[in-house]
C-alpha cells in the first residue's frame, strides 16, 4: 500500500475524531494550566533553542538503536550468542530515546495542521505500541526468555517501521516540521513597496514585490520588514499582533523578534526572514537583508 493511500484511509476514520479532539483539548489545558512554567518547557520541546524541530532529531535514537538491536538479534539467532548483550543494550537505549521522541512529538502534534492531525495521532499510537512491545521484550530478556524476547522485538520493529513511514509522510506531504517560506524570490536590491503614509503605527501591513509577500511594521521611528509567511505552518503574519518587540502569528501564537526574526515563542522553531528597509521620497523600500544588525537593518524614518 502506498503511503498516500494509507494516509487517506486513516483520514477516512471518522471515529477517531472524538479521540483527536479530546487529546488536543487535554493537551491545550495542560500547557495552559501554568503558562509561566509551561511555555518555556513547550518552547524547549518544540526545539526553539535548536533553531530546528527537535522531534525528528530524537526519533533517530530509537529507530537507529532498534535497527542495531534487530541486526544483533539476527546474529544471535544464527548462533553468534556473544551479540546478545549488545542487542539488549541497543534495545534499552532505544526505549530511553523513545521517551524523548514521545514528549517532543506530542508537543508538536498539539499545534499540527488539521489535515495532518489524524495521521499524526495514528503515528503516535503506533509508536506507543512499538515502545510497549520493546519494553515487553526487554522484560522477557531479563527473565531469560531470549527467544520470546527476540520475536516480540521483531514485532516492535515492524510496527515502528510503519510508524516511521507515516512520520515521513507528515514531513514530506504535510510539511510538518518544515520551515515554511515563500516559493518566489525576495527583492535583491531596494524596491519601493508602499507609500510611507499608508503605514499605520503598530499595525502590521502586508505588501508584495513580484509575488513575494512581506509584512511591514511601523513602530515609533522604525520600520521593520519581515517575511509574511510564519515558518511554523505558513500563517499570515500581517494578520498577527504586535506584542512588545515581537510580532505574534495569528494561527498558533508563535512570536518572532521584530529586530532579527528570531523565535521568542514556539511552536515555530525556525526564524522569520528579516529584510532591510528604508524610506526614500516618501516610499518604503525593502531588499534582502545584507548585514543584519549593521546600518542596513530596519530603517529609521529619517532616512
Ligand atoms: S502558523 Fe502556527 S504559529 Fe504561525
pLDDT digits (tens, 9 = 90+) for 140-162: 999 999 999 999 999 999 999 99
Q: Hey, which of 113, 233, 237, 246 would you mutate to test ligand 1's pocket, going by the most ligand atoms within 8 Å of its Cβ?
A: 233
Q: Hey, which of 249, 256, 261, 263 would you mutate to test ligand 1's pocket, going by the most ligand atoms within 8 Å of its Cβ?
A: 249
Q: How far is CA 41 from CA 58, 102, 267, in A?
A: 16, 14, 11
The angle formed by the CA atoms of residues 99, 105 and 110, to the nearest 5 degrees, is 135
Q: Are strands 205-209 and 191-195 parallel, antiparallel or unpaired?
A: unpaired
Distance 187 CA to ligand 1 centre (A): 24
Q: Do 228 and 122 lie in a common domain?
A: no
**Residue 137 belongs to what domain range?**
3-172
Q: Do 101 and 211 lie in a common domain?
A: no
Give the domain CATH number at 220.
Answer: 2.102.10.10
Domain boundary residue among 139, 172, 205? 172
Ligand 1 atom showing the smallest separation from residue 237 Cα? 4
Q: Which helix (H) or strand (E) holds 97?
A: helix 84-110
pLDDT digits (tens, 9 = 90+) for 167-208: 999 998 888 888 777 677 888 899 999 999 999 999 999 999
Which amino acids bring their CB within 6 angstroms of ligand 1? 111, 230, 232-235, 249, 251-254, 267-268
Most confident of 51-60, 66-75, 173-182: 66-75
Ligand 1 atom showing the smallest separation from residue 233 Cα? 1
Q: Do 22 and 168 lie in a common domain?
A: yes
For 143, the grid coordinates are: 527473565
Domain tally, the chain? 2
User: How far apart, in whole angstroms, are the C-alpha atoms of residue 288 and residue 214?
Assistant: 11
Amino acid at each position: 500500500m502506498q503511503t498516500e493511500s494509507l494516509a487517506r484511509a486513516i483520514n477516512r476514520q471518522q471515529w477517531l475524531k472524538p479521540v483527536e479532539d479530546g487529546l488536543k483539548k487535554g493537551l491545550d489545558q495542560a500547557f495552559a494550566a501554568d503558562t509561566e512554567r509551561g511555555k518555556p518547557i513547550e518552547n524547549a520541546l518544540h526545539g526553539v533553542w535548536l533553531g530546528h524541530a527537535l522531534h525528528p532529531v530524537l526519533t533517530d535514537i530509537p529507530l537507529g538503536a532498534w535497527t542495531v538491536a534487530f541486526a544483533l538479534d539476527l546474529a544471535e539467532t544464527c548462533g553468534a550468542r556473544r551479540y546478545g548483550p549488545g542487542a539488549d543494550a541497543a534495545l534499552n537505549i532505544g526505549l530511553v530515546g523513545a521517551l524523548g521522541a514521545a514528549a517532543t512529538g506530542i508537543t508538536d502534534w498539539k499545534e499540527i495542521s488539521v489535515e495532518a492531525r489524524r495521521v499524526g495521532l495514528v503515528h503516535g499510537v503506533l509508536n506507543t505500541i512499538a515502545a510497549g512491545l520493546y519494553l515487553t521484550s526487554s522484560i522477557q530478556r531479563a527473565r531469560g526468555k531470549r527467544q520470546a524476547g527476540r520475536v516480540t522485538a521483531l514485532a516492535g520493529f515492524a510496527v515502528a517501521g510503519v510508524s516511521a513511514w507515516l512520520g515521513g509522510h507528515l514531513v514530506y506531504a504535510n510539511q510538518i516540521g518544515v520551515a515554511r517560506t515563500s516559493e518566489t524570490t525576495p527583492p535583491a536590491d531596494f524596491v519601493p513597496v508602499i507609500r510611507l503614509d499608508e503605514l499605520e503605527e503598530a499595525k502590521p501591513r502586508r505588501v508584495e514585490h513580484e509575488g513575494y509577500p512581506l509584512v511591514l511594521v511601523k513602530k515609533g521611528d522604525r520600520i521593520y520588514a519581515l517575511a509574511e509567511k510564519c515558518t511554523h505552518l505558513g500563517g499570515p503574519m500581517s494578520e498577527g499582533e504586535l506584542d512588545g518587540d515581537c510580532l505574534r502569528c495569528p494561527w498558533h501564537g508563535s512570536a518572532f523578534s521584530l529586530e532579527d526574526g528570531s523565535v521568542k515563542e514556539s511552536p515555530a522553531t525556525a526564524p522569520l526572514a528579516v529584510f532591510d528597509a528604508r524610506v526614500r521620497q516618501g516610499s518604503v523600500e525593502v531588499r534582502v537583508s545584507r548585514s543584519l544588525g549593521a546600518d542596513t537593518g530596519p530603517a529609521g524614518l529619517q532616512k
